[in-house]
């Protein structure tokens, strides 16, 4: 039994590593793809294909689908916020914003989630350490924007787009916790991807992107990578890890993604790694860590409090 548990732990660690590396590399894939292909249609087609594949797999495997139209609408709303809102804006912004810088700004999403839960829903009230973490983390984002704008890595418009993307991701993540839909987790992901793909494709068509479509080898290779590895493989690995580890431990991939994105951006596209970038990374991730430690501490106190 000990051997089996050790082998299973090795599988979980391997899946976790896949999530860390692959999701960190998606920023590079997006930047390469949108250099030739219109951004909204690029992300729309990616999610339409990935969502369709996942739903077909779920149907073949006989996995349970949501029965209620309310559940489907809720899942579609999550997909619209996470994918159409967040991914769509990131794809748009990465026409000008370097992939590593975008990943660092998106790493501030847990800070926004904490603010939404605290201010809007009056949940997970932050202590002094949590509020200090928020100030430090957002200060790191501001420092990153001001320092990186002089290097051509980002501009004010691009920073606004990425901050909005992080906000949509945070909103969708918080909203997804407020309901429990029937059906398999796999079908939930497929519905979310399909909904996001429909929204992104519609936005691309309304923006007139169809006339600018160019099927180059580079853009198609990037899209294939994002569909197979970014959407299908990494999501599946993350679900597997979540089933074996506590969510707080599984969620630590968010600390690794920016490191991977910044490194790959430097190696593949020659994006600069300045000391400003390194300082910003330390400050932003440090702020996120302080907020998460504060929330975990308060949750333990509430659980241990006498009823």
Q: Is 167 exposed, middle or buried (0-12, 13-18, 19+ CB in 10 A)?
A: buried
Task: Give the whole-angstrom CA distance, residue 161 versus residue 155.
Answer: 10
Task: Give the whole-angstrom CA distance, residue 121 versus residue 160.
Answer: 25
The arithmetic mean of pLDDT across residues 83-107, rounded, is 92
**Cα 76 to chain center, whole Å?**
17
Q: Percentage of the chain with pLDDT > 70? A: 93
Tokens 């994105």 sit at which residue? 261
User: Which tokens in the block code for residue 260?
Assistant: 């991977």
The arithmetic mean of pLDDT across residues 193-206, rounded, is 96
How far lies 18's CA from each of 15, 129, 133, in Å? 5, 32, 28
Q: How confident is the model at residue 255 (pLDDT cuts 50, 70, 90)?
A: confident
The arithmetic mean of pLDDT across residues 291-298, rounded, is 76
Specify the higher pLDDT residue, 108 or 202. Answer: 202
């Amino acid at each position: 039994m000990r051997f089996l548990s050790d082998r299973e732990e090795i599988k979980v660690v391997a899946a976790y590593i896949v999530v860390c590396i692959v999701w960190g590399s998606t920023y590079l894939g997006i930047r390469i793809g949108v250099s030739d292909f219109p951004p909204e249609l690029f992300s729309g087609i990616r999610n339409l294909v990935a969502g369709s594949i996942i739903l077909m797999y779920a149907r073949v495997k006989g996995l349970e689908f949501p029965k209620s139209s309310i559940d489907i609408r809720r899942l579609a709303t999550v997909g619209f916020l996470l994918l159409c809102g967040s991914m769509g804006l990131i794809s748009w912004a990465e026409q000008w914003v370097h992939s590593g810088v975008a990943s660092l700004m998106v790493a501030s999403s847990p800070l926004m989630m904490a603010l939404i839960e605290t201010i809007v829903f009056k949940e997970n009230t932050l202590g002094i350490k949590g509020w200090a973490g928020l100030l430090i983390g957002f200060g790191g984002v501001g420092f990153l924007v001001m320092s990186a704008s002089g290097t051509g890595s980002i501009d004010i418009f691009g920073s606004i787009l990425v901050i909005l993307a992080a906000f949509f991701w945070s909103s969708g993540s918080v909203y997804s916790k407020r309901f429990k839909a029937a059906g398999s987790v796999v079908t939930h992901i497929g519905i979310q991807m399909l909904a996001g793909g429909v929204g992104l494709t519609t936005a691309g068509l309304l923006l007139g992107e169809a006339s600018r479509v160019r099927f180059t080898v580079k853009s198609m290779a990037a899209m294939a990578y994002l569909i197979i590895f970014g959407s299908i493989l990494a999501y599946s690995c993350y679900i597997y890890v979540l089933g074996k580890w506590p969510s707080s431990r599984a969620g630590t991939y968010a600390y690794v993604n920016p490191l991977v994105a910044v490194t790959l951006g430097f190696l593949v596209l020659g994006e600069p790694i300045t000391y400003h970038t390194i300082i910003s990374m330390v400050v932003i991730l440090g702020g996120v860590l302080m907020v998460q430690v504060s929330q975990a501490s308060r949750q333990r106190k509430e659980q241990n409090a006498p009823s």
